[in-house]
């Protein structure tokens, strides 16, 4: 397992082209990576980062061009081939078999055997070692289905370590990690670099890129646009390179706090067993209320409880009327809609067309008494314009859109029933900076039109940038409500982690 004698890998891309059907997504990319360094690979969604890395990881062949590893041209026909060279890709979406144990997953496809039988003892022992390295204190025999998302991410990393990676590709590894887990991951990356491992780090979080990488490489629209030592470049410059123009004003000017009006939604002492206890809050028309907290603080579960997706109890008032919802259907009928944080799992039908996705929550409007396809098409045309959804053709499936545009479509979908209150759970997760800006301006515009908006986010800067007030939750309980001058990163972190004096 410890094969430190082997050096890291040098990789050279030479005029790599990738076509999907008639569409060229990589336009002759060429750059070289030296062993034992940490590279940040930057680019907007759809820039071609993931495609390029899938080619390097052996998941897809390039259409033309050469990849050289340590000077030798390689052609991987599968990820197994790439792993044999020491190249391991950790996917953004997990590749774990839920019903197998952690140890089974770590050695999946590379099982240790004793004769014909599996050598579980040896595999457990080695698993325990790599788990300790990534800082996951769980028995290797635990089933993966019992882990939370952040732990699954750590198992993915442990799996890569056990494969003895000499070049490790990480795609948004910290999306689900808490700050302390992220710190541990960064220490791990530093250890690997000291070990001579080459690391390619893909992330939209530029502060992390700044912290952990030696050099950044920027792609845009399937082309290499530039590279620079990390220390010589500011975050602002990175963003400008990614977008190809100046980004200023990521956030819209803060709209004035609405006058004292009756709340659009008031929730009193709402509890979701195991997740949230006696949470109370209210949001007025035209107001943007943020929900901050660490992963697992119970924010998503609280709102799933309010929507009737989980067992919950407490008082809910919409525009002054007491209501209870047994399902999102009833909530939508009362003017409350919810955008899930899990875009592919709960937000969009990726195999459906754009129009079918858009109108699904408000289909009754298109029933006359048969569905009216031309009305649906007109609605889609209007939404594409209004929400700035970039798509080649309106007949596309949702899966053909980039992450940012999928997210805009998902937003358009939950707003299509014209709710009075909308809950947006991580509205910019996995979205590039250009789309983020669009979404922030959209949220601000919706609020100024009188919609009550609730934004749940793990990105504190985002809440500080758009919200009028922020409720902080910690371990299922109300921790603080912050507004005005108190709306700072330090204050929110202090409340989210419980290190603030409540009276301060």
Partner 1 sequence: MSTPEPSQANATDAVRPRESSAATWRERIQSYGPVAGLILLCLIGTWLNSDFATPENILNVLTRTAFIGIIAVGMCFVIISGGIDLSVGSMAALIAGCVIMLINWAGQAVGSPLAAVLIGALAAIVLGAFLGMIHGLLITRGRIEPFIVTLGTLGIYRAYLTYFSGGGAITLDNALADLYAPVYYGYFLGIPIPVWVFLGVALAGGLVLNRTAYGRYVQAIGSNEQVARYAAVDVDWVKLKTYMLLGACVGVATLLYVPRLGSASPTTGLLWELEAIAAVIVGGTALKGGAGSIAGTVVGAILLSVISNILNLTSIISVYLNAAVQGFVIIAVALLQRSRRT
Q: Residues interacting with partner 1, by CB under 8 A?
A: 20-23, 25, 46, 218, 220-221, 223, 225-229, 232, 240-241, 244-245, 309, 327-329, 331-333, 337-338, 340, 345-352, 356, 360-361, 363-364, 366-367, 369-371, 373, 390-393, 395-397, 400-402, 413, 417
Whole-Å CA distances, 341 to 175, 295, 424, 495: 12, 12, 8, 22
Please choose, from the candidates 87, 94, 95, the residue with its C-alpha nearest in 3D space to the C-alpha of residue 13: 87
CB of 416 to partner 1, least distance (A): 10
Tell me 347's DSSP state: I
CB of 346 to partner 1, least distance (A): 4
CB of 232 to partner 1, least distance (A): 8
Continuous H helices in 323-366: 328-333, 354-359
- Of residues 98 and 191, the one with the C-beta less far from partner 1: 98
Pair of tokens at residue 175: 């999306």
Answer yes or no: are the C-beta atoms of 315 and 333 closer than 8 Å. Answer: no
CB of 33 to partner 1, least distance (A): 14
CB of 444 to partner 1, least distance (A): 25
Report which secondary-structure segment, H or E, holds 335: none
- Of residues 106 and 238, the one with the C-beta less far from partner 1: 238
CB of 315 to partner 1, least distance (A): 22
CB of 219 to partner 1, least distance (A): 11
Angstrom distance (rounded) from CA 181 to CA 186? 9
Number of C-beta neighbours around residue 253 at 10 A: 8
Please choose, from the candidates 101, 476, 92, the residue with its C-alpha nearest in 3D space to the C-alpha of residue 270: 476
- Of residues 107 and 338, the one with the C-beta less far from partner 1: 338
- Nearby residues of 73 by Cβ (< 8 Å), 6 or more positions away: 66, 67
Instruction: Reply yes or no: is the peptide bond before residue 369 cis, omega within 30 of 0.
Output: yes
- Of residues 199 and 401, the one with the C-beta less far from partner 1: 401
- Of residues 260 and 364, the one with the C-beta less far from partner 1: 364
- Of residues 218 and 439, the one with the C-beta less far from partner 1: 218
- Of residues 23 and 125, the one with the C-beta less far from partner 1: 23
* SS3 call for 222: coil
Angstrom distance (rounded) from CA 298 to CA 148? 13
């Amino acid at each position: 397992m410890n094969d430190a004698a082997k050096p890291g890998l040098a990789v050279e891309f030479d005029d790599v082209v990738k076509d999907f059907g008639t569409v060229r997504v990589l336009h002759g990319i060429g750059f070289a990576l030296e062993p034992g360094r940490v590279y940040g690979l930057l680019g907007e969604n759809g820039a071609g980062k993931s495609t390029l890395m899938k080619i390097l990881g052996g998941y897809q062949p390039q259409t033309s061009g050469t990849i050289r590893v340590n000077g030798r041209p390689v052609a991987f026909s599968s990820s197994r081939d790439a792993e044999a060279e020491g190249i391991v890709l950790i996917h953004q979406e997990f590749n774990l078999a839920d019903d197998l144990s952690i140890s089974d997953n770590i050695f999946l496809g590379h099982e240790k055997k004793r004769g014909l039988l599996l050598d579980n003892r040896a595999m457990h022992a080695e698993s325990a070692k790599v788990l300790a390295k990534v800082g996951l204190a769980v028995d290797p025999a635990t089933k993966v289905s019992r882990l939370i998302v952040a732990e699954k991410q750590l198992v993915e990393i442990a799996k890569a370590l056990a494969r003895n990676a000499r070049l490790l590709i990480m795609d948004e590894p910290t999306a689900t990690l808490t700050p302390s887990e992220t710190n541990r991951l960064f220490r791990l990356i530093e250890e690997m670099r000291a070990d001579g491992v080459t690391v390619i780090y893909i992330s939209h979080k530029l502060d992390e890129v700044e912290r952990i990488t030696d050099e950044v490489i920027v792609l845009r629209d399937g082309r290499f646009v530039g590279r620079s030592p990390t220390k010589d470049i500011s975050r602002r410059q990175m963003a400008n390179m990614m977008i190809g123009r100046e980004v200023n004003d990521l956030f819209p000017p803060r709209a004035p706090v609405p006058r004292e009006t009756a709340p659009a939604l008031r929730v009193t002492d709402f509890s979701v067993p195991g997740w949230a206890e006696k949470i109370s809050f209210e949001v007025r028309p035209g107001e943007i209320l943020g929900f901050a907290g660490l992963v697992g603080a119970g924010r998503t579960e609280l709102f799933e409880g309010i929507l009737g997706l989980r067992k919950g109890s407490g008082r809910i008032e919409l525009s002054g009327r007491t209501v209870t919802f047994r399902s999102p259907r009833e909530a939508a009928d009362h003017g409350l809609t919810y955008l899930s944080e899990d875009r592919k799992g709960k937000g969009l039908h990726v195999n459906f067309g754009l129009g079918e996705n858009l109108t699904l929550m408000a289909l009754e409007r298109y029933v006359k008494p048969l569905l009216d396809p031309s009305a649906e098409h007109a609605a889609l045309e209007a939404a594409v314009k209004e929400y700035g959804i970039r798509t080649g053709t309106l007949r596309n499936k949702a899966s053909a859109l980039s992450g940012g545009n999928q997210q805009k479509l998902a937003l358009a979908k939950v707003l299509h029933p014209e709710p009075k209150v909308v809950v947006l759970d991580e509205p910019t997760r996995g979205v590039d900076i250009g789309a983020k800006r669009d979404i922030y301006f959209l949220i601000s515009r919706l609020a100024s039109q009188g919609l009550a908006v609730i934004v749940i986010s793990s990105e504190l800067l985002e809440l500080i940038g758009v919200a009028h007030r922020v409720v902080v939750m910690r371990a299922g309980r109300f921790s603080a409500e912050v507004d005005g001058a108190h709306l700072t990163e330090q204050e929110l972190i202090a409340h989210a982690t419980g290190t603030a004096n409540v009276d301060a």
